[in-house]
Amino acid sequence: MPGAKKVLVKTFGCQMNVYDSERMTEALEAEGYRETDVLEEADLVVLNTCHIREKAADKVYSELGRIRQVKEERLALGRETQVAVAGCVAQAEGSEIVSRAPVVDLVIGPQSYHRMPDLLRQAASDRRSVVETQFPEEEKFERLPARGKARTATAFLTVQEGCDKFCTFCVVPYTRGMEYSRSVAAIVAEAEALVARGVSEVTLLGQNVNAYHGASEGGGTASLAGLIDRLARIDGLERLRYTTSHPRDMTDDLIAAHAHEPKLMPFLHLPVQSGSDRMLAAMNRKHTAADYLALVARIRKARPDIALSTDFIVGFPGETDADFEATLKIVDTVGFAQAYTFKYSARPGTPAAKMDDQVPESVKTERLFRLQQRLDGQQKRFNAACVGRTVPVLFERAGRHDGQLIGRSPYLQAVHAFADEALLGRIVPVEILGSGPNSLSGVIAASATHDKFPGHRGIAAE
């Protein structure tokens, strides 16, 4: 289609936004758009935004400034450009966005993506900005077109949205609304469609994914463990992951799934946020440091080799040196394979933003640095411990060097190896020879047999 309109979708924030962007792009492709990554060529620019921290939200406005210039340049050449702001900033700020940045033609909240093509037409014909940020109770995913061609062997699949936990720092309950779970049947259908298109690893997404409770196929509701059990029966679906989980929702059946379901990968992202009980209470996390440690012990009993990942916030209002020391202590006690660390960022409308004792920026910066150093050391040691082992790697894409492929280990580490391109999309045993802070490197283990990797039977190593 040489004359087809082009769309550029730029994604900020979490994996749920990555998933939403893919579904939006597919919906727009069904309307005749072609994807581009060149701003100057785009007839439609969609920013899929994140509101979780102030910096993330600020990026949207600096990006819109750049887009305004390009829109004017294109107009001088007689070419129209439509600009849409989607995602969590759209949901949180609504029409404020249009007031601050009149370049925007459409503001669209996450529950309305299936209406995007219609709303864009409406904005164009009415020659005015359209703002659509309601929270209608409908299955938007089922109203979007069926999944398109898979881009890689791995895919995200959103199974749950929203959160009812109300941590005092977090905007999610306000931007994504209350918890909502998709039905097992809808998820199974989407997973089957992905597998038919060459996907063999699916990561189930939700803001609070382990609180999943969707309608099951036989009536009643299914837990996340029940959903995983059902998805594991899909032939050709070789690996399952899920993120993000709340410690309070790590139920016995889900922990047991890590023991008995070989397709469920031994990696778990389980945010703890702080090691101080005083801070955890102020954050309304509903767990103590001891609760978290006891939970980790149960999970490790079920799956001894599980790699644990987490999130920390430093400089939450009222955090003292002693509170921060407690955070360093929990890092040492657990031993994380990887982690994300954030400086506390006051979000308008959340309870913590109004708390006394906001921590000075310089203190936050210093604590973040110390915490990161400790976590970096753990990640490096975790990676180094893999050297000499042979691990099954799902190759996802070509590497930077000629003949190099990049894939993921069961523990979600990036693995580089020189290998035949025909192995893209396949799970192959790789002998790990080297490790760095963020990745492993190795060679295809020619002599390895598949029996070493239960759950990956029938995947040829060649």
Q: Report what 16 binds from ligand 5AD, ligand SF4, none; CB cut-off 5-8 Å by kind.
A: ligand SF4
Calculate Rg over the CA atoms of the chain. Answer: 23
> For residues 14 and 424, which CB has a smaller minimum distance to ligand SF4 in the complex?
14
Give me the least distance between CB of 356 and ligand SF4, in Å please: 25
Stretch that binds ligand 5AD, among 21-29, 340-348, 365-373, 423-431 (CB under 6 A): 340-348
Q: Which residues of 399-428 are buried (b: 16+ CB within 10 A; e: fewer)?
A: beeeeebbbbbbbbbbbbbebeeebbbbbb
Q: Is 227 in the site for ligand SF4 (CB under 6 A)?
A: no
> For residues 129 and 350, which CB has a smaller minimum distance to ligand SF4 in the complex?
350
Stretch that binds ligand SF4, among 45-53, 250-258, 364-372, 427-435 (CB under 6 A): 45-53
Which has the closest alpha carbon to 97: 58, 136, 54?
A: 58
Out of 8, 13, 326, 393, point to the residue binding ligand SF4 (CB under 6 A). Answer: 13
51 vs 169: CA distance, rounded Å: 12
- Name 47's bridge partners: 10, 85
Q: Report what 344 binds from ligand SF4, ligand 5AD, none; CB cut-off 5-8 Å by kind.
A: ligand 5AD
Q: DSSP labels for 82-137?
A: EEEEEHHHHHHHTHHHHHH-TT-SEEE-GGGGGGHHHHHHHHHHHTS-EEE----S
Site string for ligand 5AD, 141-170 (x = CB under 6 A): ----------------------------xx
Backbone angles phi, psi at 429, to 5 degrees: -70, 130
Q: Binding to ligand 5AD (CB under 6 A): which residues in 168-197?
A: 169-170
Residue with token string 């990696």:
267
Task: Tell me if 88 sits within 8 A of 110, measured CB to CB.
Answer: yes
Q: Report what 347 binds from ligand 5AD, ligand SF4, none; CB cut-off 5-8 Å by kind.
A: ligand 5AD
Out of 9, 50, 52, 199, point to the residue binding ligand 5AD (CB under 6 A). Answer: 52
Residue nearest to ligand 5AD (CB): 311
Give me the least distance between CB of 407 and ligand SF4, in Å please: 26
Angle between helices 321-334 and 289-302 (to 10 degrees): 10
Out of 273, 274, 276, 441, point to the residue binding ligand 5AD (CB under 6 A). Answer: 273
Q: Is 207 in the site for ligand SF4 (CB under 6 A)?
A: yes
Q: Report what 345 binds from ligand 5AD, ligand SF4, none; CB cut-off 5-8 Å by kind.
A: ligand 5AD
**Dihedral (C-alpha) 38, 41, 45, 50: value to the nearest 10 degrees?**
10
Stretch that binds ligand 5AD, among 35-43, 149-157, 341-349, 451-459 (CB under 6 A): 341-349
| Number of chain residues interacting with ligand 5AD (CB under 6 A) | 12
**Residue 127, exposed/middle/buried by CB under 10 A (0-12, 13-18, 19+)?**
exposed
38 vs 40: CA distance, rounded Å: 6
- Name 438's bridge partners: none
**Dihedral (C-alpha) 298, 302, 306, 312: value to the nearest 10 degrees?**
-20
| Number of chain residues interacting with ligand SF4 (CB under 6 A) | 14
Q: Report what 207 binds from ligand 5AD, ligand SF4, none; CB cut-off 5-8 Å by kind.
A: ligand SF4
Task: Tell me if 72 sits within 8 A of 113, measured CB to CB.
Answer: no
Residues lying near ligand 5AD in the complex (CB under 6 A) are found at: 52-53, 169-170, 271, 273, 311, 313, 342, 344-345, 347
Residues lying near ligand SF4 in the complex (CB under 6 A) are found at: 13-14, 16-17, 50-52, 87-88, 171-172, 175-176, 207
